[in-house]
Amino acid sequence: MAVVLLVRHGQASFGGDDYDQLSERGEEQSRIVGRRLAAIGPIDRIVHGTLRRQIQTADACLPELGTDPGRAEDARWNEYDGEDLFRPLPADESLAQTDDPRRAFQARLEQAVERWTSGEHDGDYREPYRQFHARTRAALDELIADLDRSETVAVFTSGGVIAALCAQWLGADPRGWASLNRVVVNSSISKLVHGRSGTNLLTVNDHAHLEDHPRELLTYR
């Protein structure tokens, strides 16, 4: 069977000057998941979006694989545009004053996600929620159609994309997608297999490769 491994990028630089860059912790997570991918078996292809955190995760994994599979870049594997989600919301000055910026950001994000996924304000967004789902599913379907029966491909992408694809197989509604998105671990692996019976979701959010390491390597943001 063909295998698609959806790998979430390592931790990005939350609170830094440039979010779209791996933190030191994210680099370590990426090396660890690289060793996990090497143990799973030969990786025949690597695919990633155009975001730096996705590309940097793939780069950090490569030395751990022991091989140099072909690489392809496809912007359809990019995360939803967070700025697009926040743009319609009124300004919130309290974010700059809080002692817990991560918690404040999460609350703000959940407010933005609820509005985005409702379908009632699609005209306010460059990429409405349903369009985001269609974009990610098209990327997956095209990739699977191009795979040989025995190929394994590692796709370096983002939490929202992984949650969107898994939600479709689990029959989850927008609230279900939001719940999945909230808990996709940095450098986790979700596995899809494709064979005669079609495409099936086998595992979601596997992060056992982090469990023998310091607890601080288990991150969600």
Contact 2, 147 (CB under 8 A): yes
User: Measured between alpha carbons, how far is 140 from 205 in angstroms, rounded to an integer?
Assistant: 17
Q: What mean pLDDT is reported for the chain?
A: 93
Confidence of residue 168 (pLDDT cuts 50, 70, 90): very high
Select from 152, 9, 145, 151 the least CA-distant residue to 77: 9
Rounded to a whole number of angstroms, the CA Rg of the chain reads 17
Helices 129-146 and 159-170: crossing angle in degrees, nearest 10, is: 80
SS3 content of the chain, % helix, strand, coil (to 5): 50, 20, 35
Average the pLDDT over 144-165 and give the result.
Answer: 96
pLDDT given at position 153? 97
| Residue 47, token pair as written in the block | 């695919």
pLDDT given at position 104? 78
Average the pLDDT over 10-23 and give the result.
Answer: 85
Contact 33, 189 (CB under 8 A): yes
Percent over 70 (pLDDT), the chain: 94
User: Measured between alpha carbons, how far is 153 from 45 in angstroms, rounded to an integer?
Assistant: 5
Domains of the chain: 2-80+133-217 (3.40.50.1240), 82-126 (no CATH)
Place of tokens 């959806």: 6
pLDDT digits (tens, 9 = 90+) for 112-141: 999 999 999 999 999 999 999 999 999 999
User: Measured between alpha carbons, how far is 143 from 137 in angstroms, rounded to an integer?
Assistant: 10
Asked if pLDDT for residue 20 goes beyond 60, the answer is yes
Select from 212, 190, 211, 192 the least CA-distant residue to 201: 192
Confidence of residue 97 (pLDDT cuts 50, 70, 90): low
Contact 208, 221 (CB under 8 A): no
pLDDT digits (tens, 9 = 90+) for 171-221: 999 999 999 999 999 999 999 999 988 999 999 999 999 999 999 999 998
Q: Which of 30-34, 88-92, 165-169 has the lowest mean pLDDT?
A: 88-92
Asked if pLDDT for residue 98 goes beyond 90, the answer is no
Burial annotation 104-134 (CB, 10 A radius, 16+ → b, else e): bbeebbeebbebbbeeeeeeebebbbeebbe
User: Measured between alpha carbons, how far is 105 from 170 in angstroms, rounded to an integer?
Assistant: 28
pLDDT digits (tens, 9 = 90+) for 46-69: 999 999 999 999 999 999 998 889
Q: Which amino acid is at 39?
A: A
Distance in angstroms between the alpha carbons of the first and the last residue of the chain: 33
